[in-house]
Amino acid sequence: MNVLFHYSLLIVFMLNTKQFVQIQEIRNGVVILKNGGLRAVLLTSSMNFILKSSSEQQGIVNAFKDFLDSIEWPVQIMINSRQINLDNYIADLDERAQKQENELMRLQISEYSDFIKSLISISNIIAKNFYVVVTYSPLNFKKGGVFKGLSSSIKTNSYSDTILEEYKNQLWQRVKHIQAGLRRLTLRAEPLNTKELLELYYNFYNPTPKTKKSPNTINAL
C-alpha cells in the first residue's frame, strides 16, 4: 500500500512540474509556447571586452546602446555555462593511438590523451554559450486588463504549417534585425534549428553534469 501511495505521489509531482514547461512544441526551427507566442533562439559569438583599447571599448558600448535602442520588442540574452563532456574525445584519441603504425606518433597521442585525462581529473573544463531569444506574439490579448489578457491567452495552440510559415516570416524579420545589429558589434549570430533547440531545452530542464542528449520531441523535457 505504501509503495502504491508513493508511486501516486511521484505521478502527481511529475504532472505538476510539467505545467511549468511553457513550451507547446518546437517545429521548423521555431519554439511555440502554450500561449501561442513564438520564439527563435540565436547562438552568438563573443568577444574579449577587456582586451580592447579604451576607444574600442567606448565604441562597443555606444554601438550596443544603439542596438538596444533599435529593438522595439522583448528580447532575452542568456549565458549558459556547462561542463564539457570529453569522454568521446578521449575514446577517439585512444582508438587512434591503437591504430597508429608509427611508434613515435602512437606515443605522442597516448601522452596527449593521458594529459587530457589528468587535466579533467583536477579541474572542470567549462564552456560558455551565448544566446539571444527573439520573441513574436501573433495573438492579440483580449481587453480587460493585463492579467485578464494573459490568462485568456494561455491555451493549447497548434498552428497549421501554412499559418506557422506566415508567422515565422514575421519572426525572421526580427531575427535578421538582431543579426544586423550584432554584426555592427563584430558578433555573429545564427538561429538554432529544431534538433539544436530540442537539445538545448532538454539540457536546460535536465542539467545533468557531463551529459548531452538529443531528444526527438518536446515531450522528452
How confident is the model over 118-174, as pLDDT tens digits? 888 787 778 889 999 999 998 654 443 333 333 344 444 578 889 999 999 999 999
Q: Identify the DSSP state of 185.
A: T
How high is the pLDDT of residue 122?
80
What domain count does the chain have?
A: 2
Rounded distance between C-alpha atoms, residue 129 and residue 84, angstroms: 11
How high is the pLDDT of residue 205?
79
What is the value of pTM for the model shown? Answer: 0.70
Q: Fill in the amino acid letter for 42.
A: L
Residue with cell 572542470: 124
| Number of CB atoms found within 10 A of residue 167's CB | 20
| Co-location of 159 and 197 in the same domain | yes
Long-range residue pairs from 108-112, CB within 8 A, at least 24 positions apart, any chain:
none
Q: Fill in the amino acid letter for 18.
A: K
| Co-location of 59 and 27 in the same domain | yes
How confident is the model over 94-107, as pLDDT tens digits? 898 888 888 888 89
Burial of 73 (0-12, 13-18, 19+ CB in 10 A): exposed
2 assigned to some structural domain: no
